[in-house]
Amino acid sequence: MAMFALLYRYWMRTVFVLLSFSVPYFGFAADLLVKEAQLQLHMNDADTQRRVEQALTPGVVKLNAVAQELEVLNQKGILSSPSNETLELLQLCEHWQTQLRNNFSCRLGALQRDWDAAVIKNELPDRALLRQKSRQHLKLQWQANSAGVHFSDGAMAEGLQLDLQGLWQGWVLERVLVEIEKIAQQQKIILGDFSLTYGGLTKAVTTGAAFEQPVTLNGLSAFSVPLNNQTLAVFDRQHNLRKVAHYPMSRLLVTKEGWPVEFAPSLLVRANSAIEAGVLVQSLLSDSVHDALEQVNKKAGVTALAITETGMFFASKEWYRDSAVANSPWPKQLTFSIDYEIPALDVAEYRRPYIAIWIADEQGNSVRQLQVLGDNRWLRDLRVWWRKFGRADDALVDALAGATRKPGRYRIDWDGRDGQGQKVQQGKYELHLEVVREHGEREALNMPFVLNGQALSAETKGTQEIGRVRLRLQ
């Protein structure tokens, strides 16, 4: 199957939610077709809109020519005299596969074709064979220079098919943005604020403060995301499911497995680069929510929000930073931190402990799940946490679980939001910690505290499995 026919079906099945800016903010919109998918330009001024749209036409023609070149390459495995743009895209494929450690790849077109066939047959493919095939395809090579591009003999024998997914969409947005800036300079046009939407990516260009972008996900109330010269990519899990042998399966594949992402959350990624936003959606969904957000916290200029099947919100540290709503129920200069200690124990068979930490209200209802450490299979040993929360929510368990930790002191910060991303009210709450260790003891602590806008400090200590615990708002 030709790559862009495959991509077109992939987009039309809404791997990403198509977002557009509200009419009151951008008054006019133009629709340009890039390989049968709409490129939407939203501007305030109708005359500016028409002038930019007309000037963009040659650039859109060039983008479609690049798409055609890649389609020929997919069909024949060889392309003579490729354009610089096609060479650039292939280089980006290599760059992002290396940068994201094979959690993103342009080499999964043949596996997507296998899943298309599985849908028609209504029969799950062999998982072991798909894993083997995916790992083989990650290693397949091509040679590319100005004289030509051709797949290696091994790639031809394996039936390599390119599938650029989010990379193509982000690349198109960045190329069009460059063209718009050139047009404005040449024609002396004052652009003002505007946005570009293509596939599932929306890029906003603003000259002043950030504005709130409305987002609607299936089954959830609408909320907004501030954008300031950033791109927003949205993956809605409910729009990304297909049934194979009566099983709902994600259309997004784990690159190293060739198998759909399981318990996939909805995911919003905000980044300065449209390309980075697009490729990160695939990469981050290949990991657990816990590990994905840990990755995001290490990336400059990138934030993310994951929402589980049951509507629990998990955000990277900087996600709410630019929100128009106050970040917390306490003054901005204060930080709510929890320091806890895993004590070093002199025992014969020491195993790192399983830990659950959460905030509850006075009635014991979960307000915010902060951390769960341990293998998913054995989290039920955290009996209190499992009975109250874990056993009823597989998606929550999958999202929270992280690797156990060695003895030492650790810190968690709470942003003052509940599990649905809403700012909590002032009042009485409790911090809960539960710890269990194989060949050891089980221990649970709870620390009552009051949120009233004032600084606070509390400290306690466990008897064996939990060391010193300190709660501070200061």
Mean pLDDT of 451-468: 93
| Residue 8, domain CATH | 3.10.520.10
| Structural domain for 387, as ranges | 336-473
In the chain, % helix, strand, coil (3-state, to 5) comes to: 35, 30, 35
Lowest mean pLDDT among 5-9, 193-197, 206-210: 5-9
Co-location of 309 and 400 in the same domain: no
Co-location of 306 and 381 in the same domain: no
Co-location of 309 and 417 in the same domain: no
What is the C-alpha separation between 84 and 145, in angstroms, rounded? 9
pLDDT at 457 (0 to 100):
95
Q: Which of 284, 198, 399, 255 lies closest to 390, judged by CA?
A: 399
Co-location of 13 and 104 in the same domain: yes
Confidence of residue 29 (pLDDT cuts 50, 70, 90): very low
Boundary residue ending a domain (260, 286, 315): 315
Ramachandran category for residue 31: left, alpha or beta (phi over 0 → left; psi -120 to 50 → alpha): beta
In a domain? residue 103: yes
In a domain? residue 322: no
Would you say residue 220 has pLDDT above 90?
Answer: no
Structure tokens at 458: 């509390």
Pairing of strands 194-198, 201-205: antiparallel
Co-location of 353 and 426 in the same domain: yes
| In contact, 41 and 30? CB cutoff 8 Å | yes
Co-location of 353 and 261 in the same domain: no
Co-location of 160 and 234 in the same domain: yes
What is the C-alpha separation between 275 and 128, in angstroms, rounded? 32
Co-location of 301 and 352 in the same domain: no
Co-location of 266 and 178 in the same domain: yes
Is 30 exposed, middle or buried, given 0-12, 13-18 or 19+ CB atoms closer than 10 A?
A: middle
Alpha-carbon distances, residue 457 vs 14, 24, 176, 447, 472 (angstroms): 48, 46, 53, 11, 4
pLDDT at 267 (0 to 100):
94
Q: Which of 339, 329, 312 lies closest to 428, judged by CA?
A: 329
Q: Which residues contact 118 (CB under 8 A, 6 or more apart)?
A: 124, 125, 244, 245
Co-location of 21 and 163 in the same domain: yes
More confident residue, 165 or 408: 408
pLDDT at 440 (0 to 100):
86
pLDDT at 15 (0 to 100):
33
What is the C-alpha separation between 399 and 395, in angstroms, rounded? 6
Mean pLDDT of 223-250: 89
In a domain? residue 328: no
Domain total of the chain: 2
In a domain? residue 325: no
Q: Which of 278, 258, 233 lies closest to 125, judged by CA?
A: 258
Lowest mean pLDDT among 18-22, 329-333, 395-399, 447-451: 18-22
Co-location of 355 and 246 in the same domain: no
Q: What percent of the chain lies above the pLDDT cut of 90?
A: 62
Would you say residue 229 has pLDDT above 50?
Answer: yes
Would you say residue 381 has pLDDT above 80?
Answer: yes
Would you say residue 16 has pLDDT above 80?
Answer: no
Q: Which of 444, 449, 405 lies closest to 429, judged by CA?
A: 449
In a domain? residue 382: yes
Q: What percent of the chain lies above the pLDDT cut of 70?
A: 92
Co-location of 247 and 183 in the same domain: yes
Amino acid at residue number 212: E
Question: What is the model's pTM?
Answer: 0.84
More confident residue, 27 or 120: 120
| Residue 340, domain CATH | 2.60.40.4070
